[in-house]
Every structure is written in C-alpha cells, then in structure tokens.
Structure 1
C-alpha cells in the first residue's frame, strides 16, 4: 500500500501531458511503466562503495501516442558512486529501450536525486534521449522500491540483485 501511494504521488508530481506522437520531428512526450531486475558488481554490503549496476527492464506499457500503447524492454548500465544495502546513491547511466513496434531509444542519464518516504526509496534520474524515439527530449527515470532491510546476504557475501518498479517519462 505504501509503495502504491508513493508511486501515485510521484507520478502525480512528475507526469507531463503527452504531446503528439509520430515522426521524430514532431514527437511529443510519452510515459512507460514496468519493473526491473538489477544486478550489482561488486555486491551490495553494509559499506558504501562504487558499484556497477546493470538492470533488465520490462515496460509493460508505453503510452507512445494518443490511445496507443506498446510494451518495451530496456537495458540500463550505470555506476552508483556509493551504494550499500541500506543506502542508495545516484549516478550516471545509459538505457537502451526497444519498443514492440520496432523503434528504440537511447537515453543518457547525467544526474540523480534520492527521495525517501514511508519506508520507500525512489531514485529519480534525469537526462536526455540521444537517439531514436524522443530524440532530443528530456527524460526522467524513477526507480522505486522498499527500503532495503538487513538481509543475510548483506551481512555475508553481499546482495547481488534486486527488483524494483520503474517509470520512464520522455517529456515534450
């Protein structure tokens, strides 16, 4: 319930009206929602350290035009400068999104903000679409999940992976 409330609040604050979809020249904004499975190298422990993050993303719905939605898959690679089991830090990264209609987007994220509320962490990354659908438009990627509690993995060999909800907005 708390995660759903944070997602609703977050999406209400950051949602932008969709523009016209179509050719790259006149393309407006769009919204994708889904989930991701992240992999951490080195694994997350109690001690913050620079960590490479790879995430496989499944966007179950991308509203790419008025009344038009398509699913998509994404691949995110980035570096978190100080990641640990109990904390999260943002960093730079790059995501390739492949849409079911055959189009794709390459998005480069250059900044991130961490939000904490009611036991939920939200990482909000901002950047720009550099290739494909939405080229030239600003992008915002919001990754949310429960605050990580100490697990056996964190206390021993480290947490190697985790799952989160993801929202991608390409703004008009």
Structure 2
C-alpha cells in the first residue's frame, strides 16, 4: 500500500508550486502598492489586508511542506540515547499523535469555516466574504495530515522490519 507516500509526493509538488505563486503574488502586490503610493500618490486601499491574507496562506502551505520534508526543529538528545527499537516505537507514536491532532484540527476547521458567524464576516476594504480566505486552514490540516500519515506508514513499516 504505497498510496499515501505517492499522494504525499504529489501534494508536496503542488504545494511547492502554490508557495512560489503566493510569493510572486505577495511581492507583486507590495511592489505595485509602493509604486502606486509614490508615483500616483494613491496606494491600493486593499493591499495591506490582502498582503496579510497572502502571508497567512504562504505560511500554512510552507508549514505543510516542512511537515513532508521533516524540517521542523526537534529535540532528540534523549531519544537518540535509547535503543533502536524503542526509538522506532517513539517515532511511530509521535506521528500517530500528530495525525490525531491534525484530524481534530481538520474537523474543527471545517466546522469553523462553515459556521454561520464566519459566513457574515467581510474583508473591511473590499467587502468580500472572508470564508474563502479562511479555507486555507482546513486545506492545511488535510495536506499536513496526508504527509503525517505517510510518515506514520513509513514508521510502522520500519517497526515491523519489512523493507519496501
């Protein structure tokens, strides 16, 4: 069953492209706003708010990528002193706990984005509804969960001693 690693690999390629596009949009928006402020004397009214939204999206996409790449900071000083088999059990347990946490956050995030209170919120400068911008949170939880489940699968395979 190599579906999870394949899905995780496909997702991370998509996330890398999305992060590049978000960086380009963010930088482009800031450059245009600065140009409008100093050349035309009138900055874009919505630029700061949209830039903040883009930055949140970029952050969550980048965190999901870092989960896939196992690029988070970890304190392993004590765990590294344990026997290999115990380390493997701890690794599997940690991935399982993270998966559980992300599943709960995904459920809560979907409930939050679809709640009536969020449906009434609007972006101040444009009047657009906010819920489409908030959708990044459940998307992040879902993509990070796929990456974590792929890591959990790998940890279980190592634990069982099978080579794939």
TM-score band w.r.t. shorter chain: under 0.3
Return the index of the structure with the highest Cα Rg: 2
Greater relative contact order, per chain length (Cα 8 Å cut-off, separation 6+):
2
More strand by share: 1
More helix by share: 2
